[in-house]
Copies of this chain bind each other. A is one copy, B any other.
């Protein structure tokens, strides 16, 4: 796999950076799950120190060696992957001075705290100075990193290697009209209830935990290499190839929220867990990009989890542990899990409307980064877009512009990867059915091993060896194509 002497030397030197990443991941996981409240101050200093240390080690010990390897002929795909991934990091860090990195790192721990307060108090003014500074810094970052057409390109590329604003525009120009057509049809039919009884039925937390664990068992989650914990916002973190942890939340009602968070995070976790063992502790031991990662979580959450065949499997588990689902048929549960309805909160949105929420954020971010609008303009523009796209308007900031944590984490250019994930998930379903057989049948027969192996061979095992665009072509035979998602939504929701 790795034979070139310089690459081997590089991987040897990289080991300590990997270890720092391992520690930082654990610190991140702990901060969101078990850390005592007052631990936050020392933890954030420790995190910032380790992030600066990583920067220095990368620039001092790794950069000179990677530089020698850039453009060297005769490397195999794995070796080229190592050089590509590290060179991206080196170039980025060389262009962003330490003081900007430090300020962004500091904001990443401070701003979410302010954002949380602002959201609770529904007070946009409180968050505004932080968000303004973040936008200002991210605009500087874009200039420092450079771009060909649009400053947003520079930010997109960080989350999704090779992604450009023009790709995103093309993507949404196919998707948005098609989604809106389906949405109008669905709304006209009045098939889905405005409110579903199950949304208000309370569950016992222990019972729901058991459901989640049994569902993970069915899917094949390897408990010897992972955990399920609780956090305010569900997430997956790969601490090591054999230590991948997911979280969910228990709000006490509307059980599908907890359940589908688990299935979603399972998708992310499986990707991390199925990276080739031989890439362990290398810079390739992670997903190809956020978009490809999201395709995995969305594949399991929506394509598998919200399918009729899967609801059949869920029903006995729900009936046994929650009990109250016994009054509902599989068909009724299927409907509950797939209600389509314009709503204010992205994370609660259905498969049809979800990408409209992303489109809104994309448009706003793009204008912010271009300097066409100011943070001050966001709340009003948010409401206008909501009205235009979904026909509803939030009555508060917390149901509108203050709902997402991302901007407080200085993540601008991240949202489009969610739609990429949805598109690739639909595309993957299509490919899987051509290569293996009807997914519904495979699910019905509980042959998840087949799905896991397919995903491993096509995508997971490659880790970050290939840039996402290349991996997609290699795995799916063609580039990302939003038509697959449009068709999937059309098929699933227009034929009721």
Contacts and interface: CB of A to CB of B under 8 A. Distances in A.
Interface of A: 15-16, 18-20, 22-24, 26-27, 30, 34-39, 41-43, 45-47, 49-50, 52-53, 222-227, 229, 239-243, 245, 280-281
Given A23-B23, A23-B27, A30-B30, A18 B36 contact: no
A261 to B, nearest CB: 19
A103 to B, nearest CB: 16
A30 B29 CA distance: 11
A227 B30 CA distance: 12
A130 B303 CA distance: 49
Contacts of A226: 36
A242 B38 contact: yes
Of listed A23, A30, A222, A280, residue having the most chain B CB within 10 A: A23
Contacts of A280: 42
A242 B16 contact: no
B227 A45 contact: no
Contact of A53 (B19, B47, B245): B19
B243 A38 contact: yes
A20 B34 CA distance: 19
A223 B37 CA distance: 8
A19 B50 contact: yes
Contact of A240 (B22, B37, B46, B241): B46
Contacts of A225: 36-39
B26 A30 contact: yes
B49 A15 contact: yes
B224 A19 contact: no
A46 B22 contact: yes
Contacts of A245: 36
Given A19-B49, A19-B53, A38-B224, 19 more contacts: A16-B49, A16-B50, A18-B49, A19-B45, A20-B23, A23-B23, A23-B24, A23-B26, A23-B50, A26-B26, A34-B34, A34-B227, A34-B229, A36-B225, A39-B242, A39-B243, A42-B242, A42-B280, A42-B281
A20 B240 contact: no
Contacts of A16: 49-50, 52-53
A42 B226 CA distance: 13
Nearest to A17: B49
A462 B41 CA distance: 21
A37 B30 CA distance: 18
A226 B36 CA distance: 5
A223 B20 contact: no
A36 B241 contact: no
B23 A46 contact: yes
14 contacts: A15-B45, A15-B49, A22-B43, A22-B46, A34-B227, A36-B242, A36-B245, A37-B225, A38-B222, A38-B224, A39-B240, A39-B243, A41-B242, A42-B242
A223 B46 contact: no
A121 to B, nearest CB: 18
Contacts of A36: 223-227, 242-243, 245
A170 to B, nearest CB: 41
Q: Which 6 interchain pairs have the tightest Cβ spacing?
A: A39-B243, A42-B240, A19-B49, A23-B23, A19-B46, A22-B46
A223 B23 CA distance: 24
Contacts of A281: 42, 45
A16 B102 CA distance: 13
A53 B229 CA distance: 31
Contacts of A223: 36
A100 B45 CA distance: 31
Contact of A26 (B18, B27, B52, B241): B27
A38 B245 CA distance: 12
Nearest to A35: B243
Contact of A39 (B20, B34, B239): B239
A41 B280 CA distance: 11
Contacts of A22: 42-43, 46
Contacts of A224: 36-38
Nearest to A48: B19
